[in-house]
Amino acid sequence: MQAGAAAVWIQLGIDIWLLAAASGPLSRLAGVASVVWGVVVWVFGESFGGIFAPGVTWLFGAPGAVLVYCVAGALIALPERAGPRVGRMVLAGLGVFLVGMAVLQAWPGRGFWQGLSGRRPGTLASMTASMARTPQPRVLSEWVSAFTAFDEAHGLAVNLCAVVLLAAIAGIFLTGRPRLVGPAVAVFTALCLADWVVVEDFGFFGGLGTDPNSMIPFALLAIAGYLALSPETGPAVAAPAARWRDRADLASLRELGFGPVASLGAVGLIILGAAPMAAAQANPNADPILAQAIAGSAVPMNFPAASFRLTDQRGRIVTLAGLRGKVVLLTFLGPACPADCQRIAKEFRATAQLLAAEPVVLVAIAAGPARVADAQAFDRRERLSRVPDWLYLVGGLPELRRLWTAYGLSPQAQPAGAALAQADTAWVIDRGGQVREELNISPGPGIAASESSFAVLLAGAARPFLQP
């Protein structure tokens, strides 16, 4: 959550900076900032744009829109006198990239040549069919569904058209000749728009999209390369755009020093986001608000904890009286129970790390009949063997039943007369042996963030009772 909120401030700061500084050193610095942030998002947010995933294709947005934004930021960062040479470099780079994408699109065995494969949709049809099912206006869903049906019927022709167009446009871009590049850019833009609508489905439906995907940035990049390539065409097209821009962004305010001031404020916004993001990355533990959202707040209590005399995983006798002077975090776990016990064990292991060197003992009482060997096997499996102040206690069924009853657990009958009293609950017992809090530690989705959040919650519940 900290990282997500930080991303908003960073991107807002870069937005304002780019708008406020249209030229000069401040503009170039804004381009550099855009490149740096784009690389971070491309690597950590888009997982390298999915280029290492199977079935990667330009039609689905590879190598990710953010990488195109990085290129755009690099272009802004260049000196303004760069001119036609930059246009040729942009188009040549696009040409090389599109050649590679054409080869990938034509590569056999990747499912793009078949509209249907064994009565199942091919790679492209399967993708568009899933996009058609996302929540969106009905007319858009009908367009995508119609293309899916067309691809299923004519998969070979659709893929052949894509391969030929990508290869031909790439070849023309590599020539760098304005008379040829102009029509090729128009065809490429039309191809991008068509793909954006019927394949990428505008890129932001379904509730998860945070940008319009890569087709619009690709088209704009090609157009920018063409405008920079031609000394005549570029200024003629750019002049009306510049006049519109000056009216839109209040050039008069710039003359009063608005640009530098706004740029400085934008840098402040970026720092406002970067600082908590850095703190979030440096902290391996999620905020306990996740655990509270899943399981609710802790319940305050104050009653004597039930005494016990049980055997730990090393074969030693352990009593509650022998733990006096330490805070006890207590739960009930079955040594052979399913995923919930494993997740709770991970939470307790992380809690031990957070409370290292504190007078705290983490105790799990068997939720069913178990032997010392069972406790040892559980500890080895869950990497608890070397966790200090961790106790897994086993005992006879009468003693266990008494403890289950004392903590409000209802044993469930098991085969062969066994019983199981599993509870996704932890209790905090203070130094004097009083139960002070009850926490629901239901593992929730079982993801790393929720487990880490529960560990922080458990550690935080113990800390108020650490003082003698």
Q: Are residues 223 and 368 in the same domain?
A: no
344 is a domain residue: yes
Predicted confidence band of residue 73 (pLDDT cuts 50, 70, 90): very high
Mark whether 313 and 430 lie in a shared domain: yes
CB 148, CB 128: distance < 8 Å: yes
Range picked from 203-207, 208-212, 348-352, 442-446 for highest mean pLDDT = 348-352
Residues 302 and 375 in one domain: yes
Asked if 291 and 445 count as a contact pair (C-beta separation under 8 A), the reply is no
Whether the predicted pLDDT of 248 surpasses 60 = no
Least confident of 114-128, 231-245, 349-363: 231-245
Domain co-membership, 231 together with 296: no
- Nearest 5°: the CA angle 307, 312, 318 is 35
Query: What are the pLDDT digits (tens) for 390-418?
Result: 999 999 888 988 998 898 887 665 554 44
| Amino acid making up residue 371 | R
pLDDT tier at 250, thresholds 50, 70, 90 = very low
| 310 and 162 co-located in one domain | no
Q: What are the backbone angles phi and psi of residue 186, rounded to the nearest 5°?
A: -65, -45
Both 227 and 294 in one domain: the answer is no
Percent of the chain having pLDDT more than 70? Answer: 85
Do the domain assignments include residue 390? yes
Query: pLDDT at position 95, please?
Result: 96
Report helix, strand or coil for 330. strand
On average, the pLDDT of the chain sits at 84
Q: What is the pLDDT of residue 390?
A: 93
Q: Which domain holds residue 60?
A: 23-248
Q: Averaged over 293-307, what is the pLDDT?
A: 86
Q: State which H helix or E strand residue 211 sits in.
A: none
421 has pLDDT over 90: no
The answer as to whether 385 is a domain residue is yes
Do 146 and 228 fall within a single domain?
yes
pLDDT of residue 164: 97
Same domain, 223 and 90: yes
| 60 belongs to a structural domain | yes
128 & 240 share domain: yes
* Mean pLDDT on 420-429: 80
The reported pLDDT for the residue numbered 256 is 46
- Residue 362: its pLDDT value, please? 94
Cα separation of 452 and 129, whole Å? 37
For 147, 213, 278, the CA distances from 56, given in Å and listed in that order, are 20, 15, 31
Structure-token pair, residue 134: 């996302």
CA neighbours within 13 Å on the CB side: how many for 363?
Answer: 23
Distance, CA of 440 to CA of 209 (rounded, Å)? 34
Backbone φ and ψ for 282, nearest 5 degrees, come out as -75, -25
In whole angstroms, what is the distance from residue 426 CA to residue 330 CA?
A: 5
- 264 domain-assigned: no
Angstrom distance (rounded) from CA 291 to CA 447: 11
Claim to verify: residue 137 and residue 34 sit in the same structural domain:
yes
> Given this model, what pLDDT does residue 280 score?
63
For position 339, what pLDDT does the model report? 65
Look at residue 282 and tell me whether its pLDDT is greater than 70.
Answer: no
Evaluate whether residue 239 is within a structural domain: yes
Q: Which two tokens stand for residue 328?
A: 């006890």
Is 60 exceeded by the pLDDT of residue 240? no
Model confidence, pTM: 0.64
157: helix, strand or coil: helix
Look at residues 219, 248, 277 and tell me which one is the last residue of a structural domain: 248
Say how far apart CA 278 and CA 295 lie, in whole Å.
Answer: 28
Q: What is the CA radius of gyration of the chain?
A: 31
Q: How many helices (H) and strands (E) does the chain have?
A: 17, 12
Asked whether the CA dihedral 403, 405, 407, 410 is positive or negative, the reply is positive
SS3 53: coil
Residue 332 and residue 330: Cα distance in Å, rounded? 7
- The model's confidence at residue 441, banded by pLDDT at 50, 70 and 90, is confident
411 within some domain? yes
The answer on pLDDT for 342 being more than 60 is yes
* Domain boundary residue, one of 217, 248, 279: 248
- Phi first, then psi: what are they for 414, rounded to 5°? -125, 165
Are 310 and 241 members of one domain? no
- The CATH number of the domain holding residue 417 is 3.40.30.10
**CB burial class (10 A; 0-12, 13-18, 19+) of residue 124?**
buried
CA distance 123 to 102: 16
Phi, psi of 137 (to 5 degrees): -55, 145
User: For residue 356, how many other CB atoms are within 10 A of its CB?
Assistant: 11
Which element (helix H / strand E) includes 301? strand 299-304
Report the pLDDT averaged over residues 320-337.
Answer: 88
pLDDT at 405: 87
Q: Identify the band that residue 206 occupies on the pLDDT scale cut at 50, 70 and 90.
A: low
236 and 346 together in one domain: no
- Residue predicted with more confidence, 303 or 230: 303
Highest mean pLDDT among 65-74, 265-274, 422-431: 65-74
Residue 382 DSSP symbol: T
Q: Are 326 and 360 in contact (CB under 8 A)?
A: yes
Residue with tokens 């049809």: 125
Half-sphere exposure of 326 (CA within 13 A, CB side): 18
With respect to residue 91, please indicate whether it lies within any of the assigned structural domains: yes
Least confident of 51-60, 213-222, 317-326: 51-60
Q: Tell me: the pLDDT tens digits for 37-68?
A: 999 888 887 878 878 777 789 998 889 889 99
- Least confident range from 32-36, 236-240, 249-253, 349-353: namely 249-253
Highest-pLDDT range among 24-28, 191-195, 352-356:
191-195
Last residue of a domain, one of 248, 269, 299: 248
What's the number of domains the chain is made of? 2
pLDDT for position 416:
46
